[in-house]
Amino acid sequence: MGVEEIPKETLLEIYRTMHKIRTYEETLAKWYYEGKSPRFDISAGPIPGELHLSSGQESAAVGVCVHLKDEDAVMGTHRAHHFAIAKGVDLKKMTAEIFGKATGLSGGKGGHMHLFDAAKNFSCSGIVGASFPQAVGVGIAAKLKGEDYVAVAVGGDGAANQGTFHEALNLAALWKLPVIFLIEDNGWAISVPKDKSTAVAKNSERAKAYGIPGVSVDGADVIAVYEVAKEAVERARRGEGPSLIEVRTYRLRGHFEGDPQLYRPKEDFELAKEKDPLANFRKLLLEKGIATEEELARIEEENEREVREAIDFALNSLYPEPEEALKGVFAGGE
């Protein structure tokens, strides 16, 4: 299957979402440094706390989520904005959440690492490796309810060394659950390179141990991710069980904003630029004559406007009432 066999509108949708993610992340980064100069203080400014951006990794999110429906679940990591956007989470509410506003997805209680959108079946977590067993549960629910939704558990290459990854793979394989284990391999667990943390070269090889399909795909090529994910999602929907996909990506930014990245060799930054899936895909669309410069420019303008509106919405929203902090620990009352 090649790019020629994918409908143009799908291809443009993929480009639109990837570009939206990139525009959003780079805009957010600018706002993150507001109020944090001249002295960098992680708690200052309109976006306090840690911020983990996904620039360079868009293809993993878009290549997979383009096959998903609202009913399908995506369980992301601490670096999850790209998956949230690709899954259709409301950009305004998500931004307001990141700015700590009352209009945010969780009224300011969750923040950047804990985005929840139940309507879109999207969640994420600040705990490495937490998504895998949780996705198994979604798979169990699908089976018990006789539905055809699937769950995508996202983890980094670092997360694949947690016990949860192996336990969840075994369970999902044993029970033939509709789960896609998606390892987003950017080569770094904060400062520890993959070859210093992982005993196998490709995490997809670990699928063999559990008797399920495992594929490794180049994240620089969003169409390659699209194809691999399509097969895995269809397989899951047909009731044939889980798959493991490793998407090899590069981080264009640090582990978190403010990360000096002294541990990272120069070549890795260069590769990150070379393997930029957005730039590559844009070039491909133009070279193949699938889209014109004007069409892409229009999409880009629309994205920029949408991102601007989301930021404005967040900035113009009110902070929650302080007393709200004490409410909502339990369901069914305060």
Contact footprint for other proteins (CB under 8 A): 40-43, 48-50, 97, 100-101, 104, 106-114, 125-129, 158-159, 161-164, 189-192, 196-198, 258, 262-263, 319-320, 322-326, 329
Rounded least distance, CB 169 to other proteins, Å: 15
Please return the burial class of 10, using the count of CB atoms within 10 Å of its CB with bins 0-12, 13-18 and 19+: exposed
**Whose Cβ is closer to other proteins: residue 162's or residue 170's?**
162
Assigned token pair, 184: 């987003």
Rounded least distance, CB 323 to other proteins, Å: 7
| Antiparallel, parallel or unpaired: β 122-124 and 116-117 | antiparallel
How far are the Cα atoms of 2, 171, 290 from residue 281, in angstroms, in the given order?
13, 36, 11
**Whose Cβ is closer to other proteins: residue 108's or residue 187's?**
108
How far are the Cα atoms of 15, 66, 185, 250 from residue 63, in angstroms, in the given order?
10, 6, 15, 15
d(CA 221, CA 321): 46
Rounded least distance, CB 63 to other proteins, Å: 24
**Whose Cβ is closer to other proteins: residue 56's or residue 100's?**
100
**Whose Cβ is closer to other proteins: residue 213's or residue 258's?**
258
**Whose Cβ is closer to other proteins: residue 130's or residue 177's?**
130
Rounded least distance, CB 254 to other proteins, Å: 11
Rounded least distance, CB 14 to other proteins, Å: 31
Rounded least distance, CB 106 to other proteins, Å: 8
Catalytic center residues: 251, 255, 263
Query: Residues 42, 49: contact at Cβ < 8 Å?
Result: yes
Query: Residues 56, 275: contact at Cβ < 8 Å?
Result: yes
Residue 277: cis peptide before it, omega within 30 degrees of 0: no
Spatial CA neighbour of 197 closest among 169, 160, 248: 160
d(CA 293, CA 299): 10
| Unique residue bearing structure tokens 């014109």 | 292
**Whose Cβ is closer to other proteins: residue 19's or residue 93's?**
93
Spatial CA neighbour of 64 closest among 84, 86, 79, 85: 86
